[in-house]
C-alpha cells in the first residue's frame, strides 16, 4: 500500500514510518517541523528512514500547504500531526486549533478528493478528561485546551464519516513512552535530569497513575487498526499495566543507578489524575494486545537517552 503519514518526523510518526516500511509499504512522510521542540531532534528521528528507497519525505505545513500532489495514489492516510503537549495549549490556543483542527479539515478534504480508502486519526486519552479510566463509552470531558481541540478533531472526522462515507478510524492513545519520547514529556525530563544528577520536579503527590503505552505497542495497534479497524469506530490504544508515577521514577532511577531527588509542586491545570485504558474493543476488533511491561519499556527508554549522549560525545570527539 502507499500510506501517507503526517507528523512523520515526530516521536510516534517516525516509529510508525519505520514499521510500515518494514512491512513492505510505500510511505510518504509529511511534517512541518513545528517548533514545539527543536528541529534537530526531529531530523534525528527521520534519520533511520530518510534514505529508504520506498520512503519520500515532504516538509509541508498541513495548515496551508498544497496537499493534493502528496495524496495522489495514496491508499491510506495516518494523521499523527498535532500540537501534542497539553501545558502549552493554555497559552497558545491558536497553534492547537490550527494544527489539530484546521489542518485535519484540510487533510480530510484532500483525502476525499484523492479517494483515499482508509484514514486513521491519532487521538488521545485527554478527550476523556481528568480521569481516563474505562472503555470508549466513558464520557468525554476534556480538562485542557489540548483535549478540547483533539475532541473537536474527532467530531470533525465523524462528520466526514457520516456525510462523505469517509472510511476513518479514531485511535485514542494513552501516554506513549519509549525511545524518542518528546522532550516535554515526564519520563524524558526525569531521565535527562537524573542522568545529569539534577533534581526532578513532580507535580502532585506522585500517586497519579498512567496506562503508559510503549511506543512499539502503539505502532502495532495503529497498524492493526489500519488493516482491520472498522470505519466510523473509536478504539482505545493503551498499555497493559497501569503504573504509578512514583514507581516509574524508581524504575528509571534504578536503570540509571541514581537516587532521585524530588521537588514536589502543586498539580498543574489540566493534568490527568488517573488513566487506565480498557482496550478490550481493540482486542476484539483487530487483536490488539500490548506486549511491553512498563518496567521493561522504561529501561529501553533510558538506554536510548544514554545512546544519544554517547553519540553526541563521540561526535564532539
Ligand atoms: N505522545 C503521546 O503520549 C500521545 C498521547 C496521546 C495522543 N498522542 C497523539 O499522537 C500524535 C503524535 O504525537 P507525538 O507525541 O509523536 O508528537 P510529536 O510532536 O513528536 O509529533 C507531531 C509532529 O507533527 C508535526 N506537525 C504538527 N503540526 C503540523 C502541521 N500543521 N503540519 C505538518 N506537520 C505538523 C510536528 O512538527 C511534529 O513533528 C499526536 O496526534 C498526538 O496528539 C500522543
193 located within any domain: no
- Alpha carbon distances (Å) from 66 to 26, 76, 112, 140: 20, 18, 14, 33
**Is 184 within a domain?**
no
State which ligand 1 atom lies nearest to the alpha carbon of 98. Answer: 31
Q: Is residue 6 part of a domain?
A: yes
Q: How far apart are the first and last CA of the chain?
A: 43
Q: Are 188 and 249 in contact (CB under 8 A)?
A: no
Q: Which atom of ligand 1 is nearest to the CA of 34?
A: 37
The partner residues of 201 in beta bridges, in order of sequence, read 263
- DSSP assigned state of 152: H
Any domain includes 186: no
121 SS3 class:
strand
Retrieve residue 140's grid coordinates.
468525554
Cα-Cα-Cα-Cα dihedral sign, residues 185, 133, 294, 11: negative
The count of structural domains within the chain is 1
In the chain (317 residues long), the average pLDDT of successive 10-residue segments reads 98 98 98 96 94 97 98 98 95 98 98 97 96 96 97 98 95 98 97 97 94 97 98 96 95 96 92 92 98 96 96 78
- Per-residue pLDDT, 74: 98
pLDDT score at 198? 97
Q: Which CATH number does the domain housing residue 94 bear?
A: 3.40.50.720
149 lines ligand 1 (CB under 6 A): no
Cα–ligand 1 centroid distance for 81 (angstroms): 4
pTM over 0.85: yes
Are the beta carbons of 242 and 276 closer than 8 angstroms?
A: yes
Q: Write the DSSP string, 72-83.
A: TT-SEEEE--S-
Q: Is the CB of 61 under 6 A from ligand 1?
A: yes
CB of 214 within 6 A of ligand 1: the answer is no
- Total residues found in the chain within this entry: 317
What positions carry a catalytic annotation?
Answer: 146
In a domain, 37, yes or no: yes
- Sequence-ordered list of residues with C-beta below 8 angstroms from that of 257, at least 6 positions apart, any chain: none
* 106 lies in some domain: yes
Query: The C-alpha cell of 216 is what?
Result: 512499539
| Residue 262 β-bridge partners | 200
SS3 213: strand
CA of 139 to the centre of ligand 1 (A): 24
CB 176 within 8 A of CB 10: no
Q: How many helices (H) and strands (E) does the chain have?
A: 11, 15
Rg of the chain on CA atoms, in Å:
19
What the block records as the C-alpha cell of 59 is 516538509
Which pLDDT score, from 0 to 100, does residue 148 have?
98
**Residue 79, domain extent:** 2-177+214-239+270-291
Residue 209 lies in a domain: no
* Assigned domain for 159 exists: yes
Angle at 301 between CA 295 and CA 307, to 5 degrees: 140
pLDDT at 313: 80
Residue 312 has a pLDDT of: 81
Instruction: Indicate whether residue 12 lines ligand 1 (CB < 6 A).
Output: yes
**Roughly what angle, to the nearest 10 degrees, separates helices 103-114 and 145-164?**
20
User: Which ligand 1 atom sits nearest the alpha carbon of residue 12?
Assistant: 16
Amino acid at each position: 500500500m502507499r500510506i501517507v503519514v503526517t507528523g512523520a518526523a515526530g516521536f510516534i510518526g517516525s516509529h510508525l514510518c519505520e514499521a510500515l516500511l518494514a512491512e513492505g509499504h510505500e510511505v510518504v512522510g509529511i511534517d512541518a517541523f513545528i517548533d514545539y521542540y527543536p528541529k534537530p531532534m526531529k531530523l534525528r528521528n527521520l534519520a533511520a528512514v530518510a534514505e529508504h528507497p520506498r520512503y519520500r519525505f515532504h516538509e509541508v505545513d498541513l495548515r496551508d500547504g498544497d496537499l493534493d500532489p502528496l495524496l495522489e495514489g495514496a491508499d491510506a492516510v495516518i494523521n499523527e500531526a498535532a500540537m501534542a503537549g497539553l501545558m502549552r495549549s493554555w497559552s497558545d490556543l491558536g497553534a492547537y486549533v490550527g494544527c489539530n483542527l484546521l489542518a485535519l479539515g484540510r487533510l480530510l478534504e484532500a483525502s476525499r478528493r484523492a479517494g483515499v480508502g482508509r484514514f486513521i486519526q491519532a487521538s488521545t486519552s485527554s478527550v476523556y478528561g481528568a480521569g481516563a479510566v474505562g472503555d470508549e463509552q466513558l464520557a468525554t470531558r476534556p480538562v485542557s485546551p489540548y483535549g478540547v481541540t483533539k475532541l473537536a478533531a474527532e467530531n470533525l472526522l465523524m462528520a466526514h464519516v457520516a456525510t462523505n462515507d469517509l472510511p476513518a478510524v479514531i485511535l485514542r492513545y494513552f501516554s506513549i513512552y519509549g525511545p524518542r519520547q518528546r522532550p516535554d514529556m515526564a519520563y524524558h525530563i526525569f531521565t535527562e535530569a537524573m542522568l545529569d544528577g539534577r533534581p526532578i520536579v513532580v507535580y502532585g503527590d506522585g500517586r497519579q497513575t498512567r496506562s503508559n503505552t510503549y511506543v512499539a505497542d502503539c505502532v502495532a495497534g495503529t497498524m492493526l487498526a489500519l488493516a482491520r479497524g472498522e470505519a466510523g469506530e473509536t478504539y482505545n490504544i493503551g498499555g497493559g499495566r497501569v503504573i504509578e508515577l512514583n514507581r516509574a521514577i524508581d524504575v528509571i532511577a534504578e536503570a540509571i543507578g541514581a537516587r532521585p531527588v524530588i521537588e514536589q509542586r502543586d498539580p498543574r491545570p489540566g493534568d490527568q489524575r488517573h488513566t487506565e485504558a480498557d482496550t478490550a474493543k481493540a482486542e476484539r476488533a483487530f487483536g490488539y494486545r500490548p506486549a511491553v511491561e512498563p518496567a521493561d519499556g522504561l529501561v529501553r527508554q533510558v538506554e536510548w537517552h544514554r545512546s544519544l549522549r554517547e553519540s553526541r560525545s563521540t561526535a564532539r570527539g
